[in-house]
A and B are shown apart, each in its own frame.
Chain A
């Protein structure tokens, strides 16, 4: 017996699957399962986070519902995965944020945006807030650069700390039987597997979402979202370097690197989340973890809002809408940062850790 009902069910399914093994060519979950004959909580959380929810094993399974064996691996592992985020959350006191996560994210986002708007309004008179500002340093007329940098660095560092502590707990529990070390080769393999979403491909035929036909496009939309996010992050990083190394202040002209990166990333962050949200709406209810619906949609919405407010800010930065839009954008980014360790964002971190573990298990099995 395990700690939770969902882990008991995951254990039952892995016992069924381990005596069948027809799905071992579909993804990493089943080969990892085959390396074990019994499953600890850590093993099951590892397998749950290794699953990319492509849906192929459900469509291919001769024992999926309505069969009496009732084998539904994608849904069971999705629920287990979501519960694992709360189980490893740091600090423990905040693990409750995963329950009713959509509500938590919305409130934090609304409060952050409101705080920036009211903050701007309180610190500046309305002629500044609604004024037209152009040229280098225009943004900092609303909020001094150092204040902005300090606030966002603090939020970001907190997020990093909380994420590191959570993943550490996860990593420790999935450490057996090969120990906690992660070698460079395994990390490199995992970066490739995560970067190309190797296991979001239904074993090669494509993923399943709305029905039993492999017509799903989530991989494309996830790539747009993820690489959009990375481009935006790169834009901010380059701008920070510009600011401190070269003394060049934002906003930058449209052809300059931070704006080009940010624009491309922003497009990804608008199109990607819209596509993922549409896919979520179409998903076969049999595969959907409806308990995590709020968390999933909350995260998608935050990414979308970040992209949208950023793009609007770019287009309207020379108008009087710049002030309010900057407040909204900063609010969205701030909320995204501080909720990162307590929402769907963590899926990427946990899955990456699971992929490293899997790469390492494969290497130790083949003796390379």
Chain B
């Protein structure tokens, strides 16, 4: 490892590797500093499985076209318009070419996975999942001559007048050192694993959050950049959060702790009360709201309650459902007040109107006379055993970030573009995602802006 590079990439996930590869292919010398040990390299990319890219025609693995305009409309809907249109449209346009570019970097696609048919047209899945994708990118980067250091914790950034000069880092074996580089690409993710930071916005509730990725996503680079005058973007309380099994580990439970069963039953809080329409919309579209909904409940816990008739309607789960022969027995196993849960279930069952169940459309199975209503897929919960999954908010990634231009160049607080600092991936996702989420967007942001940042960083270094 030399101590002066054209491009220094901090981070080790999809965005970082795309940046490193793009910069190296543009002729720059590149060093990647990954703060995690090798096994945990890649941050949240380890747990991903697909990417949302626009395409004008069906491909071998995509069942139909997904136009730029449709992608834009989806983005507009999930964010409620809280997005930077210029940046977002640029990303969507570039995403078309990413489908091929990423394959040239060794990543392989496959058709959508079992249980994800709803994404078969819009999202391309990585063969073998996110870690396989990462392995391919690392292999390509190393073959191209990119240097990679693991366990490389950056402790400080030397920045003067919006100009990056050097990074100080601490390594467990080789000790402290300083790396100078002509350009910087910050692709070090968000701060979802930094509970103390989350508490600034969420208070003590953050103690009950489960973090779906590794404990290494501490946001230290983001913090340094914001402290050193880079303009921030995004609402710090916004994040991609889903309801995951409360029995999951605190960190890195990944995809397998999620639950797809909300639409098949009711969801109650610790007082055995329902709090939101479980049948609001087709499940994948509403998947991402339940993390925040549960976060707003007392003690940040909720229970999906259903009965034995629907157990095969959703993917098998890592943790088995908790079962009771009566609603009261189930309640006592969940530490809920039995009488309260019996009352909630009885009132719900009484409110269910007859209809024809079809979970693939907004069907006509709904309730009448209760608040909140369940507007679709409402069926009585009456066939024992009664079953439940306890769920907590599972924080996937945060949206607070650094503001960038469409060249992925960071903007300073005074509005001036930085001379040599670029950002890609989750650390700048807030530019595109003001709130909300649609499957596969995080990877699109990572690959598209990673590639742009790498290219631009190399261009700056070689000028």
Contact of A21 with B130 in the complex, beta carbons under 8 Å = no
How far is it, in angstroms, between the C-alpha of A139 and the C-alpha of B139 when the chains are bound? 56
Given contacts A37-B316, A66-B39, contact A26 B127 (CB under 8 A): yes
B146 to chain A, nearest CB (A): 15
Contact of B131 with A61 in the complex, beta carbons under 8 Å = yes
For B47, what are the chain A residues with a Cβ–Cβ distance below 8 Å? 62
Which has the most chain B C-beta neighbours within 10 Å: A23, A24, A31? A24
For A18, what are the chain B residues with a Cβ–Cβ distance below 8 Å? 315-316
Given contacts A18-B316, A19-B318, A37-B316, contact A60 B128 (CB under 8 A): yes
What per-residue 1/0 map shows which CB atoms of B110-129 lie under 8 Å from chain A? 11011100000000011111
How far is it, in angstroms, between the C-alpha of A69 and the C-alpha of B254 when the chains are bound? 11
B350 within 8 A of A: no
Nearest 10 CB-CB pairings of A with B:
A22-B129, A60-B128, A25-B110, A60-B132, A19-B256, A62-B46, A19-B318, A25-B127, A18-B316, A20-B256
What per-residue 1/0 map shows which CB atoms of A112-133 lie under 8 Å from chain B? 0000000000000000000000
A39 to chain B, nearest CB (A): 11
B49 within 8 A of A: yes
Interface size bracket, B side: 20 to 34
Contact of A203 with B315 in the complex, beta carbons under 8 Å = no
A interface residues, Cβ below 8 angstroms from B: 15-16, 18-26, 31, 34, 37, 56-57, 59-63, 66-69, 203-205, 212-213
For A19, what are the chain B residues with a Cβ–Cβ distance below 8 Å? 255-256, 315-318
Contact of B318 with A203 in the complex, beta carbons under 8 Å = no
Q: Looking at the complex, which one of A62, A67, A69 makes contact with B130 (CB distance below 8 Å)?
A: A62
B70 to chain A, nearest CB (A): 26
B311 to chain A, nearest CB (A): 8
For A67, what are the chain B residues with a Cβ–Cβ distance below 8 Å? 39, 252
A356 to chain B, nearest CB (A): 22
B interface residues, Cβ below 8 angstroms from A: 39, 46-47, 49, 106, 108, 110-111, 113-115, 125-132, 135-136, 139, 249, 252, 254-256, 312, 315-318
For A69, what are the chain B residues with a Cβ–Cβ distance below 8 Å? 256
Contact of B129 with A62 in the complex, beta carbons under 8 Å = yes
Contact of B39 with A23 in the complex, beta carbons under 8 Å = no
How far is it, in angstroms, between the C-alpha of A29 and the C-alpha of B139 when the chains are bound? 26
How far is it, in angstroms, between the C-alpha of A331 and the C-alpha of B47 when the chains are bound? 55
For A21, what are the chain B residues with a Cβ–Cβ distance below 8 Å? 113-115, 315
A340 to chain B, nearest CB (A): 36
For A31, what are the chain B residues with a Cβ–Cβ distance below 8 Å? 114
B273 to chain A, nearest CB (A): 29
Give the nearest-CB partner of B258 in chain A.
A19
Give the nearest-CB partner of A212 in chain B.
B135
Contact of A22 with B255 in the complex, beta carbons under 8 Å = yes
For B139, what are the chain A residues with a Cβ–Cβ distance below 8 Å? 213
A36 to chain B, nearest CB (A): 9
For B108, what are the chain A residues with a Cβ–Cβ distance below 8 Å? 203-205
A-B contact pairs, 7 of them (CB 8 A): A18-B316, A19-B255, A22-B132, A22-B255, A31-B114, A56-B132, A63-B256
